[in-house]
Structure formats: C-alpha cells, structure tokens
Amino acid sequence: MLMTTLTLCPAQESAPPAKQEQAAPPATEQGQPDEQKQDAPKNPRRPETFQEALNAAGDDGVIVFCYGPDWNRRSVRMLKSLWMQQELENVTGQAMLVAVPIYEYPNEKQEAESQRISAGMPPIPFNVCPTIMMLDKDGIMYANLPGLDFLGDESGSTAFKNIADKLAAHRKMLKLLKKASSLQGEEKAKVLGEIGELPIKKPNDLVEMLKAADPKDSTGLVRRNEHSALQFLYSLMDTKDGFLKADFHTTLKELMDKSMEVINDKALRTEDRQAAYCLLIGQARREEGGSKRLKNMIAASMKIDPNSFYGRTMPQLAVLWGNERADETRDQRRERRTKEKEDEKTRRQHEREVKKTERNTSVE
C-alpha cells in the first residue's frame, strides 16, 4: 500500500526526527484518507512500490512522481492536482505510475517507507521536488521533468502535455529501433538518425550503432550525433582539463580553417554549426573589435537559424559588439599602444635570454 503524507511538518532545528515523528501524518494512499483507501479498489496502474511497477511495466515503462511530504507544500498539492488526476492516466498509456516521497528529516518509519517505495530506482537528479521521472521498462531514465520549467503550474496542464510528448517520443524510439533491426546499411542509419532527433535522452550506444550501420558516414549521421560543440572548442584550444587559452594564444587565422569546416558541414545540427561561428565571432571581437568581418560573421551565423539558441542572441550581439572599438577613447588607445610597445620590447629581451639558455639545455 502506497504511503503518502499530506501533513506539512516544519523541520525543527533541534532533534528534528523526534518532532517529525510526532507530526507523522495519517497514512493515505496517493492522497486519499486511510478509511477510503481500504475500501477503494486497488488501481493496477498505480502500484505501491517502484519495484512492483517495474515488474509490471510494459513498453510504456514507469513514470515516477517525486514529492516532499514533510517540507514541500507545493509538491503535496500537485500530488492531488496533477498526479491523482484521471487525465494523467489517460495521457500515459499503459505506463505504471508511482509516487515516491522524499523526506527532509524522516523518522525511522518514514525512512523505511521511503526506502521500500524507491528500492531499485535510479537516483533522482539533485533531489529536486516536484520532479517527474520517466523510465523505460528496464528502469533506465529517458526523460526527466524537474521543477516548474517542465511541469508548469500546479494545475498540471503543462505537465500532461510534456509527459504525453515525451512518452510519444519514447514510443517512437522503440518503433524506430525495431524497424532499424530489420534494415542494413544506410537505410538502417537513416532510421537510427531519426532517433537522434527525438526530444528524449538517446540510447547510449546510438553512435556505435550508427557507426556499424554506416562505417564511412556517408549519411553524415555519425558526425551529426557524435559532434559536441564543447569538445570541438576544447580541441581547438589544445587542452584537456577545461583550462582554455583562447584569450592568450589563439588567433582568428588559426581558428578559421577548422571552424569553417564545421560551419559548412550541413550534416551537423544548426546549433553546432552556429557554436563554431561563436568561436570565430568571439575571436574576431578580441582581435578586431567591431570590424566589418565581425558584423558579417554575426549576420552569417544568424542566417543559419535565426530561431535557435544562438540565433536569438545574434541581433543583440550585432549591437553590442558591432561597435566595440568605439568604447576606447583616443587617450586610452594611445596608452594601450605605448604599453603594447613596451610589452613587445620586454618580450624580445626575454626571448633573447631564453635562446641563450636554450643553447645550453635540452628539454625532453
């Protein structure tokens, strides 16, 4: 029997467990009072524990609602306004539904109850409540909807839509995987490529499957799914640990060839191509200020996809960085140039010293 709580128990500074115990709420099943719970027929879609849900799960998997009975009033309200709604059952197909309590200061009974319900469940990312986790029939999470950005308001309307979308994507992925298993070569790669576009977490071995189906990457789908804008950035910066040196060492000339290769590769996602442009734009600003080339780059980047994450930042960037040099006054410019000359002089002197020592040493 699923044990949930409706009591709001403020955490106490000292000896919280004892006080929590005192305030332990009457046990209810998914928001229903105890007496009703005994009379109500058990809903097979709403098993008591995660393990039971997983055992009974079909292709639609398991959907978990995480709430904080003793500390999070909003999630407790959503237990009723969202989780217990018939509409949720309507939009979730045959998925099993489990509500998991996350206590702040649980007493022994609550701790045991929480562990029993959540046994076998993957960790909840950052323990955020309310959260809806969507898992496949093997218990692997394919979508996570934490907080109101994903769940909308307490009425649940946004959440229902998001859940339905994710579930539909999951179903489509299963279908595509099944279809791909009967195909070979590029045909298979194309089907697998569709999975990469779904708005859910992709299978961990998707790239491997693509590589097997299309070893020469003639479809470009391997590159599309393998490319990471961040890794590309790191590779250009010649570091491994995240301490990048673009500010000091890289030049636009050096970046241009590699970046343009990515930008012109239409197999890649538009955001990845725009991210490569970002690096050029940043370097151009650092080297040239608001040059014509910079403005052209911003315009060209926006043209790839004006509605993408980067695309939407470009109009503002054109204004902000397009006139960058105007910030520097004449005096500042003179000062900067004098300093540059001095630095250059020091650098040459240092180089001479280095050459002198290098003549006498060898470093492997």
Partner 1 sequence: MKWRLSYVVLILVMLVVGYIVDPIAFPGGDKQTAQQTAQVVPDDDYLEIDIKKDEPEPIAQTTPEPEPEPVVEDSPETEEEQDPENAEITQIKRVLGENQGRRPVHEENVKGVIRPNEWHKPKLLERKLASRIRTRIGTPSRERVLAYIREPENRLQITQWELLHRADLDALTELMRDKETCNSLAMLLNNLPWISSFVYDGEMVKPEVALSMIQQFRKVDKNMDHDPVFDNVQMKPDVKRRIAAAVAVEFTRNGWYGAGAPLTKEQIKYYKDTGIPLPDVGSDSGKKKGPVKDNFRLARERYLFFAESWDKGLINTSFGNLPDWLMHFPCGWKGDSPFGTASSMRWQRDNCSAPARAYLGMCNQVPYLPLNKYGDIIFSKYYYQPFDVLYPGLFAKETRDIGAVCGGVSHFGASSACSNGVPAFTMTEPGHCAYAVYADGEWHPSNTISEKREPHYPTWGLNRWSALQMMTDMYKDGQRTRDAQMICSLAGLLAQNKNPVKALSLYEMAVTMQPLYNPVWTMYLDTAAKHLSKRPSKYLGVNDFICSSVAPKHPEMCARYLTETIYPTLLTTLKTGKQKMVAFKSYFGNLNENEKAEWDMEKMLNMQFDSLGKGVPVKLDFFRLIADSVRRRPAFGAALSWAVRRAYREQRTVGDRVRGMVDKLLEDLPKDDPNYENIQLLLKASVIRAAEELTALSLENPRGNGREKEYYLDLANKYSKEFLKPGENNMPSFTPPPGRLVSPGGLVMLDMYAPKQDSIVTHAAALTLQGGAIISEKGKHRKVIVELPKRTSIGGLVIVPSGPNCTAYREWFVETSQDGKEWKLLANLPESSENPCVVLTVKEGCPLARYVRIDSGAEQLQGINFKAILVYDNKKGK
Which 30-89 residues touch partner 1, going by CB under 8 A?
Answer: 33, 68, 70-77, 80
Contacting partner 1 within 225-284 (CB under 8 A): 229-230, 233, 237-247, 250, 275, 278-279, 281-283
| Closer CB to partner 1, 212 or 299, in the complex | 299
| Closer CB to partner 1, 27 or 56, in the complex | 27
122 lines the binding site for partner 1 (CB under 8 A): no
Task: Write each residue from 89 to 108 as x if it is in contact with partner 1 (CB under 8 A), else as -, in one continuous string.
Answer: -------------xxxx---
HSE toward the beta carbon, residue 359, CA cutoff 13 A: 5
- Give the closest residue to 268 by CA, choosing from 229, 311, 216: 229
Q: Which stretch binds partner 1 (CB under 8 A): 88-96, 120-128, 193-201, 341-349?
A: 120-128
Contacting partner 1 within 309-338 (CB under 8 A): 309-310, 312-313, 316-317, 320
The DSSP secondary structure of 125-186, one letter per residue, reads GGG-SSEEEEE-TTS-EEEEEEHHHHH-STT-HHHHHHHHHHHHHHHHHHHHHHHHHT--HH
| Closer CB to partner 1, 150 or 194, in the complex | 150
d(CA 264, CA 280) in angstroms, rounded, equals 14
State the greatest distance between any 2 C-alpha atoms of the chain, in Å, as a whole number: 93
Specify whether the CB–CB gap between 237 and 245 falls below 8 A.
yes
Nearest approach, Cβ of residue 269 and partner 1 (Å) = 14
One-letter amino acid identity for 64?
A: V
- Give the closest residue to 201 by CA, choosing from 268, 155, 144: 144
| Closer CB to partner 1, 171 or 293, in the complex | 293
Contacting partner 1 within 134-193 (CB under 8 A): 146-149
Interface with partner 1 (CB under 8 A), residue from 27, 128, 164, 267: 128
Burial class (CB in 10 A: 0-12, 13-18, 19+), 50: buried
